[in-house]
Structure 1
Amino acid sequence: AYTGYPDETVQFEIAAGRTTEVDFNLVQPQADTIRITGVREGDARAIMSQRQSMDIKNSLSAESFGDISEGNPGEFIKFMPGVDTDSTGDGTVRSVNLRGLPPAYTSITLNGVSLAAADANTGAEASRTFSFEQMSLGSIDAIEISKTISADVDANAPAGTINIRTKRAFDRTGRRIFFQLSGTTHSNQWDGDKRTGPSDGGYRGRRFQPGGQIEYSDVFLDGRLGVVAGLSYSKMYVEQEQITASRNYVPTALSPQPLAITAIEAQMGAREIMRQSASLNFDYKASDELTLSMMGLYNQSGIWAETASLIFTTGARTRGVIGDPIFDITTNQLAATNTVSVQNNLTYKDGNGYTLIPSFEFERDNWVLDGNVSLSKSISVYDPGGQVDGANALSAVLSRGNFSAQRAPDDLYEQAWQIKQLNGPDWSDPASYTGATPLILRTNTGARAEHTYTGAMLNFTYDTEVFAVPVEFKTGLKVQKAGYEYTDRSDEARFAYAGPQTLAQLLSDVRSTNDYSFADSGINIATLSGDDIYMPSMYALRKKYLANPEHWRPTAATTVSEWYNVNVANNRDFSESTAAAYAMATADLTDRLKVRAGVRWERTETSATEIDPRSADDVRAAGFTVNASTGRATTIPGSEYQFLNRPETERKGEYDYFFPSASLKYTFNDNLDLQIGYSRTIRRPEVSTLSGVWSIDDVNQIVVAPNPGLEPELSDNISVRLAHYFEPVGLIAVNYYQNRVTGLFQTQDMTAEEFGNIDPTLAGYTFRTTTTVGGDAINIRGYELELNHSLDYLPAPFNGLSIRGSYMINDPDIPIVRSADQLATLGLAYRQGPVRMFLNSVWTDEKYRTTTPSWFDALWDVNFSASYEFSNSWEAFLSARNLINSSRNVIVPGSLATSGEVGDHSAIYIH
């Protein structure tokens, strides 16, 4: 039997001592349209792949959840069992957590090959975390999440691996040309102001963002050459409104209450997210035994974001307020006190990457030889000046005046503040504002990250019998080199205004015409005149700078700290080479029992290219002054002598480990399987701890240094699954897992000898660096329940219904930040005739944001998509994200207020 197809029986005879080959022609069940058959066929292939694997994994076709908003693979993966997701507040999935572990513990591959994904925002501090910003679903056939791994897979995946499988022409029959045209919209694009959007002046009434996809596949040369080519493009608008309440828990004579709101910050972020991809895959059957393949993928993304920030200072503890300092505030500030701060920020993050994987497979009789070489490169850079002709940021401008701020009484989770100016200069008038002297403009941002992976692998598989037991032996070799480069030259673009205009004239010239509405979060801001509060335009500021650059003085040329950031602190160049070899065997001990055991060896060599700074004593001896607390020169010429006067040095490290793995599968009957898996894996440290500049404090004789020889954390992983499979397509499964992590990273002080120092001038210094520490292991245990069931036995029209869902309980020894301890998914699908509808939802329980503590409140995320097929060639579809308009709320405990009783309350409200 093959899932998704009716059983097929064939009678044949085999002569004694001979072998014969029998072909089964599995006939697909009759369906109303080709489209519906394709969906079920994709699900059936995925489930069969899942069931046949010796690893405990979940496989789903890219069509399983319907049409996904903006084509983001993360929006697909978040509905799969055991998956938690993270975003920066705008609802766009950028990284995923598996089974309660942070994203750095998960490996992401493309057709089994490591995939590069740089992120200039998180930089070297999150170098091991894969970002889905640059990926698109357009070229993806299926996604496989392996909760346990075997010896033939890289060992850097304590939580598991996510393998993205691309489309292949040999998986289809005949020629197929697919074209899709779409548009996305946002509820805020339909407001009355028509000034929504990150561009200058907003979208001016434009309601939709364009999208589209085209795909071509065919088979040539009598079925020997298969080609799949595709292009996709999507653009989506989102808004994020974030309200932050600054809190004080120390009563004063003027404000004796246990809690007082000291400031209210309202942020409105307008984001336009673009993705485009191109893919080209070839499969060529050079002979009956040899298949040659070539996979090429290019991805590009752009995130255009404008963020307006308003901060209203109450002075509750210093001046007291009229009314309740939590719910009903009327400020009592002095006439000369600044009470409102206004700042605008513009960024454009451009990401692009490509992956090339030529491969081959040679199969003869009972053995297979396969291999590939690969190149994957990803670049992420911030460049609002070059991409959208806008400046990055202007220092905050300030104004005075008392105000009232009210919200719903006795609701500590709600932050729909109604803010009304009561006196002082009108907040809508640019002449009402003062600013720093001089006013600082950052014309651009210069953060850049680049990841490059190159590699090759070779695998040999041999099927035989050992004492009448069928055994598959597999062995292989792999080499990979990973390069990481990070720079941030943003401070080179800082300029102080030195032109002829007054501040009021300057601010009047650069007033923004965009609409900054906070209504979705419930907040409302009223100035004295009733006009919009003032906000500068980053586009007008850049034009003003380009028109008269002589009016702006660069600060990096005169400020030592900025020079240091540009030339020293923000630069990292790190590479990592890994050689691996493995061997494993899979045996069918009985008709029901199948076992696998293997071991993998990996040797890793690291190299960090770093600045070799001179000591503070050397700098003083050369005639330059030195800051006693930092050990750095206090002038730019002195800094150049200290950090750039000697050639860069290369610091190396190396380590190797053996990684055993084993798995067992017992089939009770045709539908019920038990799987048990074990593997040892590692989590490599972040590049930020492996490379960077040394900081030498001669006064206290302390050297703060990166550790290029830092060894990884080790994790022993156990998983158990009991699964019952249904025909035609479905399953129900119970899972248990445990990760036991040892060798956690920790900052420690070491002697020069312990650190391995060879510089005699630093022999008596203390070296502070990150190392792995012993002690008790950290255990992460959990349970998963998953269901995927077709209700085709119901009477029409309900026989088109299907349901899928999961529930996860995670029980770590210590809190894990940004990972939910409880998570559930629920999906309903309807496929009948030309109609397809999908309702997919994810529920996450409270999860820690920080361990201070603060946590995210529980959240429901509900998406909907539907399509109607007019003919075999034409289909219309729609999709909606965040259908129930959920908001994210960051909560802090009432126990922070030690002088009185206060309930848990909202610190940050994100809509």
Structure 2
Amino acid sequence: IGGAVNMVSKSALDRKGRHLSGQVGAIYRARPGFGQPPLRAYAVSYSEVFGDKFGVSLNYGNRSHYSPTPATSRAYENKLDDPAYTYRFGTEDYYHKQTRWGGGLKLDYKLSEGTRFYGNVTRNRMMEPSFNHYIDYATTDAAATRDAAGNLTGAGGIVPGYTKTVTEWRPIPASTVTANSSFEWKHVGSVHAEIGAVHKFRGLDVDYNLYKSVSTTNYPHNDQTNIIATGIGLRIEDTSDPNLPKLTQTAGPDITNPNSYSTARRDLRKAQGKDAFVGAAINIKKNFDTVVPTWVKAGVRLRTQNRDLFADQFRWNYVGRDGVTGVNQATGINDDNLAQFVNPNIRRWGGTEKYPLLPTLNWATWGWNPGGNYKPGPSLETGLRDSPALFVEDVELRTRTALANRQKFEETINAAYIMGNMDLGKLQITAGMRVEETKTEGEGAKNEITPAEAALRAAFVGPLTDAEIIRRTTAQYRGRQKAKGDYREVFPGLHFKYTVLNNLLVRASYSSNIGRPSIGQLIPNTTVDNIRRSLVISNPSLKPQHANNFDLGVEYYFEPVGVLSAGVFLKEIKQFIFTRGGDVIQGNTGEYGEYTGYTFSSQFNGGAARVRGSNWPTSNNSPSCRACGRVSVCMPITRGIRPRAIMAGPCPRPRWPGLFRKPPTPVFPISGFPSPFASSTTTLAAVSSASPPPRRGSTTGGPPASPISRPSMRLTRTSPFISTPGISSTCRSCPRNSRAGAGAGISALVPRSWVASTGVIRHLLLEAHRFRRHLL
């Protein structure tokens, strides 16, 4: 919704002769216990003009980097006041390596001084293997009660009497510890081809192009192994670092003993997404040689995107030779022998080494073992290959995902615009209007049990066999359904530029724009994370968000290449898109009933919001002041009006006393998903300013970090550790429900109040933690 930049590649004809340049570099990130050598990065470019008619441009780049990341996560009781118990804690050791390479070739032919034809093709690839180790301690999000004799009763896993710093868990079946090892492989490839021409006649400019772009994202083998122990009593005690509490096992089986684990499971996911873009555009600009220099420009742009998705999932439970997971009740013996699959070479760091070393199982490396530090032996993957009789497959999951996860989507956007400019000397006026028509069509599985199928199930006698499960699942999900939609929007704009002095400008503008939901949201889809017990649910009913933008600014230019700026802005947003997360799925929720107790996140439309602020960016690119870099200061003030999306639980109180007034009582009781929102006049206010660290695509993730970041104010999430302002009942900028890592921000639900933040960030190649001190 912030607009877009139309990038135009250079032409070799723009400069004469032959030009060759190159860059080399290396990236190294330290991680104890790893011998990973520095990773190279390089880029080369070449351009040459032959006979003043034919130009060639060629470029290629290759870059690799890896990110070793220790992290912890912690979930608290959803309440404002202390004490609040801890019902979940997890540690993570995540390591991934990303390699990108790409190149492009562009050919230009100058037919005459006024006519040029061109064609270009680019290809990019990215490979990202990663492995992760998760340890997840969890119990029910409820406290137990005591009977008249003082005995603990009920299904609550929290022992009454918890304090601000200490929580104890009961050793009930719902109190579990899960050790997870996973290997994930991501491979992305794209090809883009374009042809076009530029014509310059007397007083008339014409350009047009036609392009096609195809990209494929593959997840060929995302492999996970999990072992689960139940009935664990635990004491969680705060230390000086709330992200690294002290854990003490108080009851239940020894969690460091492989024989204490009753469930061993392998999950495999294979997925692919294909996107194809086809588009064309024509632009015509007419210059009028009048007393007042004027030009008018008009154009048409067409674009169609097609997306084709599939995601197959497989699951095998290890049952051993007796065919029973864990202890065989008939014999009292556990013959699973999980110790044979344990990896003794797990290396922990960043504070996670203080916790018990659990029997994490070997994983399928698929030929990737960074630095040779992990040397897995027998695994559930090799065991399934060599002794399939020791495993039981979840045939329902395999059959259902093969049908339900086949999805198609098509979006066509046709747009036309007209704009004009008048030069009145010191004052220039530009005005225009764009009309867009959008059409969408999606296709997915139909989840339906017909009367005939219901009768067949009712008549079935005997235990369910794999064949019957496959038949039932196929009958339920084999149908297909389609949905269509279309809408038309008009976007006007008006811009003024006034030259006060040769080096002093004043600008004022009004514009309107649209932010469309991502295609991934418009396709019905649910992603389940059984380790974190969470779901990410798409929202096909999501509507576009709109904004009216007003800007006023002053720019002062100084020699040789510097600028000082100051400006104020107002952005009025309607139907803003936000991400809600942290709510717990209750019972009797229909399609999601099997995930009772899981948290979920999804995107929704809010009501309206108003963003007011000012900014003072400056830059000096002169050779004598390269160290000055660029400095940008921004102070946004945000106010939400008429929100229709107030969450079930308030954000826990931030550790900045007096910054916020106490939030109102929640107005939206979650009883299932999806549900309608209640109306409210409560104000939403928030400011976030952060540079998010790299992510691996989790449910709380944000976009990959950029080495150059600006202060930002967004109503959508800006960091893996900062939730949507004022929306989420899981506040990741507070110590509660937070995750250790870089990032800074504030987030709260505030009644009729204003919140402001100032961020000063030098535009240099710095890591997020290097400049966190400049925020807030």
Same fold (TM over 0.5): yes
CA contact (8 A) 1:573 1:608 kept: yes
Whether 2:495 is the aligned partner of 1:670: answer no
| 2-structure distance, mates of 1:301, 1:576 | 26
Question: Where in structure 2 are the equivalents of 1:511-550 lying within 5 Å?
Answer: 511-518=342-349, 520=350, 522-525=351-354, 527=356, 532-539=357-364, 540-550=379-389
The one-letter amino acid paired with 1:183 is: A
The one-letter amino acid paired with 1:510 is: F
Question: Structure 1 506/809 Cα, relative in aligned 2: closer, same or farther at 3 Å?
Answer: farther
Question: Where in structure 2 are the equivalents of 1:156-305 lying within 5 Å?
Answer: 158-172=1-15, 174-188=17-31, 191=32, 193-194=33-34, 205-213=35-43, 215-248=44-77, 258-305=83-130
Cα offset, 1:565, TM superposition: 3.7
Question: Where in structure 2 are the equivalents of 1:303-342 lying within 5 Å?
Answer: 303-312=128-137, 317-318=143-144, 325-327=163-165, 340-342=177-179
Question: Where in structure 2 are the equivalents of 1:61-460 lying within 5 Å?
Answer: 158-172=1-15, 174-188=17-31, 191=32, 193-194=33-34, 205-213=35-43, 215-248=44-77, 258-312=83-137, 317-318=143-144, 325-327=163-165, 340-384=177-221, 392-398=223-229, 406-409=237-240, 414-419=242-247, 427-431=255-259, 433-436=260-263, 439-442=264-267, 444-460=268-284
| 1-structure distance, mates of 2:262, 2:127 | 32
Cα offset, 1:231, TM superposition: 2.1
Cα offset, 1:218, TM superposition: 2.5
| 2-structure distance, mates of 1:771, 1:843 | 24
Question: Structure 1 347/338 Cα, relative in aligned 2: closer, same or farther at 3 Å?
Answer: same
| Number of residue pairs matched by the alignment | 614
Q: Alignment partner of 2:36: what SS?
A: coil
Q: Which digits, 9 at most, give the CA deviation of each residue in 1:588-632, with x for residues without a partner?
A: 1x2111111222222222222344666644543666689xxxxxx
CA contact (8 A) 1:357 1:374 kept: yes
The one-letter amino acid paired with 1:525 is: K
Question: Structure 1 524/706 Cα, relative in aligned 2: closer, same or farther at 3 Å?
Answer: closer
Question: Structure 1 690/516 Cα, relative in aligned 2: closer, same or farther at 3 Å?
Answer: same
Q: Which residue does 1:736 correspond to in 2?
A: 568
Q: Which residue does 2:616 correspond to in 1?
A: 785
Question: Structure 1 888/407 Cα, relative in aligned 2: closer, same or farther at 3 Å?
Answer: farther
Cα offset, 1:880, TM superposition: 6.5
Cα offset, 1:511, TM superposition: 1.9
| 2-structure distance, mates of 1:824, 1:723 | 26
Q: Which digits, 9 at most, give the CA deviation of each residue in 1:148-206, with x for residues without a partner?
A: xxxxxxxxxx3111444545434555433334443322121xx2x33xxxxxxxxxx23
Q: Which residue does 2:399 correspond to in 1?
A: 563
Question: Structure 1 495/384 Cα, relative in aligned 2: closer, same or farther at 3 Å?
Answer: same
Q: Alignment partner of 2:616: what SS?
A: strand
CA contact (8 A) 1:655 1:711 kept: no
| 2-structure distance, mates of 1:172, 1:326 | 68
Cα offset, 1:422, TM superposition: 7.8
CA contact (8 A) 2:70 2:92 kept: yes
Within the candidate set 635, 645, 660, 1:809 is matched to: 635
Question: Structure 1 174/398 Cα, relative in aligned 2: closer, same or farther at 3 Å?
Answer: farther
| 2-structure distance, mates of 1:706, 1:535 | 32
Q: Which residue does 1:724 correspond to in 2?
A: 556
Q: Which residue does 1:500 correspond to in 2?
A: 321
* Length-normalised TM-score, structure 2: 0.68
CA contact (8 A) 2:16 2:49 kept: no
Question: Structure 1 296/820 Cα, relative in aligned 2: closer, same or farther at 3 Å?
Answer: farther
Whether 2:370 is the aligned partner of 1:554: answer no
Q: Which residue does 2:744 correspond to in 1?
A: 859
Cα offset, 1:494, TM superposition: 1.4
Question: Where in structure 2 are the equivalents of 1:549-698 lying within 5 Å?
Answer: 549-556=388-395, 559=396, 563-568=399-404, 570-588=405-423, 590-611=424-445, 616-617=450-451, 619-620=453-454, 636-644=470-478, 648=480, 650-687=482-519, 690-692=522-524
Which structure 1 residue ranges, 5 or more long, are not aligned?
Answer: 1-157, 195-204, 386-391, 627-633, 695-704, 747-769, 793-797, 826-838, 867-878, 890-911
| 2-structure distance, mates of 1:708, 1:422 | 46
CA contact (8 A) 1:807 1:824 kept: no
Question: Structure 1 660/842 Cα, relative in aligned 2: closer, same or farther at 3 Å?
Answer: closer
Q: Which digits, 9 at most, give the CA deviation of each residue in 1:752-788, with x for residues without a partner?
A: xxxxxxxxxxxxxxxxxx9999x97433333222111
The one-letter amino acid paired with 1:479 is: L
Cα offset, 1:424, TM superposition: 7.4
Q: Which residue does 2:304 correspond to in 1?
A: 481
CA contact (8 A) 1:859 1:888 kept: no
Q: Which residue does 1:830 correspond to in 2?
A: none
Question: Structure 1 888/640 Cα, relative in aligned 2: closer, same or farther at 3 Å?
Answer: farther
Cα offset, 1:584, TM superposition: 1.6
Provide the aligned C-alpha RMSD in A.
Answer: 4.5
Deviates more, 1:816-825 or 1:540-549: 816-825
CA contact (8 A) 2:515 2:544 kept: yes
| 1-structure distance, mates of 2:538, 2:557 | 51
Cα offset, 1:811, TM superposition: 3.0
Cα offset, 1:729, TM superposition: 0.8
Q: Alignment partner of 1:362: what SS?
A: strand
Cα offset, 1:323, TM superposition: 11
CA contact (8 A) 1:459 1:475 kept: yes
Which structure 2 residue ranges, 5 or more long, are not aligned?
Answer: 145-151, 153-157, 327-333, 365-378, 461-467, 527-536, 579-601, 648-683, 692-706, 714-720, 735-742, 746-758
Q: Alignment partner of 1:489: what SS?
A: strand
| 2-structure distance, mates of 1:856, 1:287 | 60
| 2-structure distance, mates of 1:620, 1:399 | 36
CA contact (8 A) 2:203 2:287 kept: yes
CA contact (8 A) 1:262 1:317 kept: no
Cα offset, 1:419, TM superposition: 4.0
Q: Alignment partner of 1:299: what SS?
A: strand
Question: Where in structure 2 are the equivalents of 1:875-886 lying within 5 Å?
Answer: 881-882=767-768, 884=770
Cα offset, 1:473, TM superposition: 1.4
Question: Where in structure 2 are the equivalents of 1:1-40 lying within 5 Å?
Answer: none
Question: Structure 1 400/887 Cα, relative in aligned 2: closer, same or farther at 3 Å?
Answer: farther
Question: Structure 1 332/693 Cα, relative in aligned 2: closer, same or farther at 3 Å?
Answer: closer
Question: Structure 1 232/735 Cα, relative in aligned 2: closer, same or farther at 3 Å?
Answer: same
The one-letter amino acid paired with 2:422 is: A
Question: Structure 1 303/554 Cα, relative in aligned 2: closer, same or farther at 3 Å?
Answer: same
| 2-structure distance, mates of 1:354, 1:772 | 33
Q: Which digits, 9 at most, give the CA deviation of each residue in 1:510-552, with x for residues without a partner?
A: 222443314x2x344354xxxx432111123323323334443
Q: Alignment partner of 1:738: what SS?
A: strand
The one-letter amino acid paired with 1:553 is: V
Q: Which residue does 2:367 correspond to in 1?
A: none
The one-letter amino acid paired with 2:731 is: S
Q: Alignment partner of 1:446: what SS?
A: strand
RCO comparison, higher one (Cα < 8 Å, 6+): 1
| 1-structure distance, mates of 2:90, 2:440 | 44
CA contact (8 A) 1:610 1:692 kept: yes
CA contact (8 A) 1:680 1:717 kept: yes
| 2-structure distance, mates of 1:473, 1:538 | 63
Q: Alignment partner of 1:542: what SS?
A: helix
The one-letter amino acid paired with 1:731 is: V
Deviates more, 1:215-224 or 1:849-858: 849-858
CA contact (8 A) 2:70 2:352 kept: no
Cα offset, 1:728, TM superposition: 0.9
Q: Which residue does 1:29 correspond to in 2?
A: none
| 1-structure distance, mates of 2:539, 2:354 | 50
